[in-house]
Amino acid sequence: MTTTSEITNSQDGDNLISQIKNGQELIVFKYSTTCSVSYTAQNIFNVWLKSLKDHTDLIIVKVDVIKRRELSNKIEQQTGVRHESPQIIWLYSGTVKWHASHFEISAKALSAQLNSYNG
């Protein structure tokens, strides 16, 4: 089952990192509440999430980079993926599987990654 939550502090981020090291698949969606590109990407991401089948066992977390810039910076430090917003970082077993930002975020690109995971 897919679970989605908003992470708001470094401790939540640390807990997620420990989960993905144990083979869990994790998608981090970083967004800004003041950016129109972020707004569009968030809509695309949310529609894609609704299209997932119930058996998909992904952990999805969202990070508001305006309110949680320190956490966003920590994610950058832990993953080695330069901060951008909007941004998706897809991790598997502690390793970045895929990342995209701005107009690279699409349902087609997300589905391709999901298919490579399920395939």
pLDDT at 10: 73
pLDDT reported for residue 99: 97
Q: What is the pTM of this model?
A: 0.87
pLDDT of residue 25: 82
Domain coordinates in residue numbering, the chain: 3-118
Distance of CA 105 to the CA centre of its chain: 11
Q: What is the DSSP secondary structure assignment for residue 81, as one 8-state letter? A: P
Determine the pLDDT at residue 52: 82
User: DSSP labels for 19-51?
Assistant: HHTTT-EEEEEEE-TT-HHHHHHHHHHHHHHHH
Output the six-digit token pair for 31: 């967004």
User: pLDDT value at position 119?
Assistant: 41
Q: Which CATH architecture has domain 3-118?
A: 3-Layer(aba) Sandwich (3.40)
What pLDDT shows up at residue 23?
67
Residue-wise pLDDT tens digits, 35-54: 999 999 999 999 999 888 76
pLDDT, tens digit, 9 for 90 and up, residues 24-38: 788 999 999 999 999
Which segments of the chain have a pLDDT < 50? 119
